[in-house]
């Protein structure tokens, strides 16, 4: 049976619930309810809030109430890991300082990695988490799908590419020749496809606002929200599409 996953990323929710980012999240959730039937899993890949406020995480958890039991989250560089764990700790596993997740579902192993190393914007995984990841991949008797905030590949925009995880080569060693079928990321606010360690990498647009590909300077190119749908088959086949709202 097909495993259907929806990825939301880079929500950037401010304290003000009337702000455009919150309106876009509500639009996306409404669109999911109308057009995507019932996803088996909703995965949020970081930058959940724009400013680190406990109330914003609590409000988000309430907004996602319909996905109780079908939800996983990861931190991004804008997030407070402490506040995220306080509100979503039941969905995460502490791996050293990192907040990761592991889920076996319908013939797939789903792994979520924490790439945040505050106070820096760039990503890093850390030795403890990388050892945990390598072990989970080695022992997997099923195809593996990986979620993470920072992509391990360049997208052709210098002010985003400088944020590559600093220890990505150790991640590559664990991925190459493994059962990992894809790495699904956020952070860059745009769809992009590449490869890392012989594995496809998919970056996804934001539910809040988009960056223009290859833009010379940072700036919001569009407030049109979007999300990614992933369809996973028991034989390891994977299909993916981006849905952008008008």
Q: For residue 156, give the CATH number of its domain.
A: 3.60.21.10
Give tens-digit pLDDT for 26-72: 999 999 999 887 899 999 999 999 999 999 999 999 999 999 999 99
Question: Residue 9 is part of which domain span?
Answer: 3-244
Based on the structure, what is the number of domains in the chain?
A: 1
> What residues contact 231, with CB distance under 8 A and at least 6 apart?
2, 3, 4, 5, 238, 239, 240
Q: 225 pLDDT exceeds 80?
A: yes
pTM: 0.97
Give tens-digit pLDDT for 99-139: 999 999 999 999 999 999 989 999 999 999 999 999 999 99
Indicate the pLDDT class of residue 235, thresholds 50, 70 and 90: very high
Q: Supply the DSSP symbol for 223.
A: -
pLDDT of residue 102: 98
Q: How far is CA 46 from CA 35, 38, 94, 112, in A?
A: 24, 22, 16, 11
Give tens-digit pLDDT for 168-181: 999 999 999 999 99
């Amino acid at each position: 049976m097909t495993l259907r996953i929806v990825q939301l990323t880079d929500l950037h929710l401010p304290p003000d619930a009337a702000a455009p980012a919150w309106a876009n999240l509500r639009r996306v959730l409404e669109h999911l309810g109308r057009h995507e039937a019932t996803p088996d899993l909703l995965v949020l890949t970081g930058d959940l809030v724009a400013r680190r406020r406990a109330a914003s995480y609590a409000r988000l958890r309430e907004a996602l109430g319909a996905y109780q039991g079908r939800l996983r989250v990861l931190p991004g560089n804008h997030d407070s890991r402490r506040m995220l764990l306080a509100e979503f700790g039941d969905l995460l596993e502490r791996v050293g300082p990192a907040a990761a997740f592991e889920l076996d579902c319908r013939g797939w192993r789903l792994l979520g990695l924490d790439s945040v190393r505050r106070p820096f914007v760039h990503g890093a995984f850390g030795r403890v988490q990388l050892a945990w990841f390598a072990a989970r991949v080695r022992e997997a008797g099923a195809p593996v799908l990986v979620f993470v905030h920072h992509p391990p590949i360049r997208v052709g925009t210098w002010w985003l590419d400088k944020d590559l995880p600093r220890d990505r080569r150790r991640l590559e060693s664990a991925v190459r020749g493994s059962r990992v079928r894809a790495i699904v990321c956020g952070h860059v606010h745009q769809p992009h496809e590449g490869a890392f360690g012989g594995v496809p990498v998919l970056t996804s647009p934001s539910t809040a606002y988009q960056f223009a590909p290859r833009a010379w300077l940072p700036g919001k190119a569009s407030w049109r929200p979007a999300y990614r749908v992933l369809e996973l088959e028991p034989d390891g086949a994977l299909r993916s599409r981006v849905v952008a709202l008008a």
